[in-house]
Amino acid sequence: MPDPGLLDVLRRSGGLVAVARQLDVAPPVVLAASTALLPLVRAGFRRDVEQAESLAAGLSGLLAWLESLGGGALASAVLQNDTATNGAGDQIVARIFGPALTRHVIADAAAQSEIPAETVAQVLPLLAMLAGGYVSARAGRMSATDCLAELGPLLDLAGEPNPLDALVGIADD
């Protein structure tokens, strides 16, 4: 289950409606796909952070990389239907999942949400931009310690196990 706060923020901000509008699908379709995808997107960010020598270093690296893609403006681009920056969503998906795992993430979310895999595949990069932009904006100008305290729970850095662990085994086969 995604962090209700994050899903709620993305919904209330108009982000999910903006995704629906961009894809020309009904908002409940995007909500269902996002509900299934968001835990995996969070887990992908978490996995990226955990690959560093420390959580603080990993989070700092993730935030610097998101900032290089546009930071908080990633979410704004989705909200404003700025298709010129949509490649950033593909970059985020490629980094947090890689190609083999991305296929399994899409299939898993499609099965959970009962939304066609093609639609889930279209929602994924836009949702990644919304989530990445939100995380980046929320980090703001916080110290590394404050970022870890604030964003650690959002990215479930202390959670066990990582929801991607089951899918990683499938993707490695």
Q: What is the pLDDT of residues 61-73, one digit of tens each?
A: 999 999 999 999 9
Mean pLDDT of the residues in the chain: 88
140: left (phi over 0), alpha (psi -120 to 50) or beta: left
Task: Check pLDDT > 90 for residue 146.
Answer: no
The helix (run of H) or strand (run of E) holding residue 67 is helix 55-69
How does residue 170 score in pLDDT terms, banded at 50, 70 and 90? low
Which residues in 71-82 are b (16+ Cβ under 10 Å) and which e? bbbbbbbbbeee
* The total number of structural domains that make up the chain: 1
Based on its alpha-carbon atoms, the radius of gyration of the chain, rounded to whole angstroms, reads 15
Q: CA–CA separation, 144 vs 110, rounded Å?
A: 36
Task: Check pLDDT > 90 for residue 148.
Answer: no
Task: Check pLDDT > 70 for residue 86.
Answer: no
Q: CA–CA separation, 129 vs 132, rounded Å?
A: 5
114: left (phi over 0), alpha (psi -120 to 50) or beta: left
Domain of residue 11: give its range.
4-172
- How is residue 111 written in tokens? 């099965």
pTM, whole model, 2 decimals? 0.89
Task: Give the percent of the chain with pLDDT over 90.
Answer: 61
Q: What angle do CA 167, 139, 32 make, to 5 degrees?
A: 40
Q: Output the DSSP codes for 97-138.
A: THHHHHHHHHHHHHHHHT--HHHHHHHHHHHHHHHHHHHHHH
Query: Measuring CA to CA, which residue among 142, 8, 3, 123 is closest to residue 67?
Result: 142
How does residue 155 score in pLDDT terms, banded at 50, 70 and 90? confident
